[in-house]
Amino acid sequence: MSTPEFSREAKKHLGQNFLHDHGVIDKIVRAINPQPGDALVEIGPGQGALTFPLLRRHGALTAIEFDRDLHAPLQAAAREHGRLQLIEGDVLGVDFTALAAASGDAHGTIRLAGNLPYNLSSPILFHALDHAAVIRDMHFMLQKEVVERMAAGPGSKVYGRLSVMLQAYCTVTPLFVVPPGAFRPAPKVDSAVVRMLPFPPERIEVRNRGTFAAVVRAAFGQRRKTLRNALGGVAEAAVIEAAGLRVDARAEQVEVAGFVRLANLLANS
Ligand code: SAM
């Protein structure tokens, strides 16, 4: 029987931009810096650009790939590098908490990595956030502009819902920029690698995740409006002030801790 081979075609609708720059691949592997016993989980292994170097370095890896055409070639090519456990399906349907429990990692945690399909970046980040308690760290390649939004602080033009939601649960650190030429086909935009370290549970101050998410969504839903107006249906002026916030401030001026205080007051009331 012939060995299954990777197609030369990249599927745009699956966000397939395959890395081929060995310098960049090496930098990502060094940033992840796998240690013995770590349970590594890669999202979107594609044609194995990161998967095989990680397998050679670490010996074993779990990867989640949606594209059926890649499953057989990936399994076949992985054999000479290490032990690949391939989950064939949509990462948004993968229960990371169950995966961590089954991973055999001494701490019951997983380490997530991947050059993400850019069309699904935000849903994947929010999905990971839902399982942050079992995720030790994350190293993702994303559009540079998305990484800037993730890491932005108050006062920045790109500070928004994504910044606040992620920074309430994780430290977000942009690592390095990757030019379009590192990929095949080349995307139209620059990319960047980001590291996220979820806080330990005792450091998370958000009392009710749903209330917090609703407050942040409403505040940035109409970012030009004052908090009093944007939060009209969610929080009364007196509660906004009790949280130490000015009712005439706009969401982009409020630091993460301010949203947390407001959401916690609402959750208690
Ligand atoms: N890791 C490879 C690399 O760096 O060359 C491929 C990266 S490519 C940007 C994104 C990968 O995610 C593709 O292989 C694509 O098929 C896969 N993918 C797209 N949507 C997915 C989903 N919902 N779940 C899992 N994988 C997905």
Q: How far apart are CA 97 and CA 120, in angstroms?
A: 20
Residue 175 pLDDT greater than 60, yes or no: yes
What is the reported pTM? 0.96
Q: What confidence score (pLDDT) does residue 68 get?
A: 96
The answer to whether 12-202 and 209-268 have equal CATH topology is no
Q: Is the CB of 15 under 6 A from ligand 1?
A: yes
Verify whether ligand 1 is closer than 6 Å to residue 113 (CB atom).
Answer: no
pLDDT at 140 over 80: yes
Mean pLDDT, the chain, integer: 95
Confidence (pLDDT) at 146: 98
Question: Could you tell me if the CB of 115 is within 6 A of ligand 1?
Answer: yes
Domain ranges of the chain: 12-202, 209-268
CATH of domain 209-268: 1.10.8.100
**Residues 6 or more apart whose Cβ sits within 8 Å of residue 87:** 62, 63, 64, 65, 94
Average pLDDT of span 176-182: 98
Distance CA 182, CA 18 (A): 8
Question: Which of 8, 16, 126 to mutate for ligand 1's pocket (most ligand atoms within 8 Å of CB)?
Answer: 16
- Contact between residue 48 and residue 72 where contact means Cβ atoms under 8 Å apart: no
Q: 94: CA distance to ligand 1 center in Å?
A: 14
Q: Say if residue 185 is preceded by a cis peptide, omega within 30 of 0.
A: yes
Look up residue 226 and give its DSSP letter: B
- Three-state secondary structure call for residue 24: helix
Task: Identify the residue whose C-alpha is closest to ligand 1 atom 19.
Answer: 14
Tell me which of 12, 69, 91 to substitute to probe ligand 1's pocket, judged by most ligand atoms within 8 Å of the beta carbon: 91
Cβ of 64 less than 6 Å from ligand 1: yes
Kindly report the CATH number that applies to the domain delimited by 12-202: 3.40.50.150
- End-to-end CA, the chain: 67
Per-residue pLDDT at 223? 79
pLDDT surpasses 70 at 1: no
pLDDT at residue 165 tops 90: yes
Calculate the CA 15 to chain-centre distance: 15
Q: What is the pLDDT of residues 205-229, one digit of tens each?
A: 999 999 999 999 999 998 789 999 9
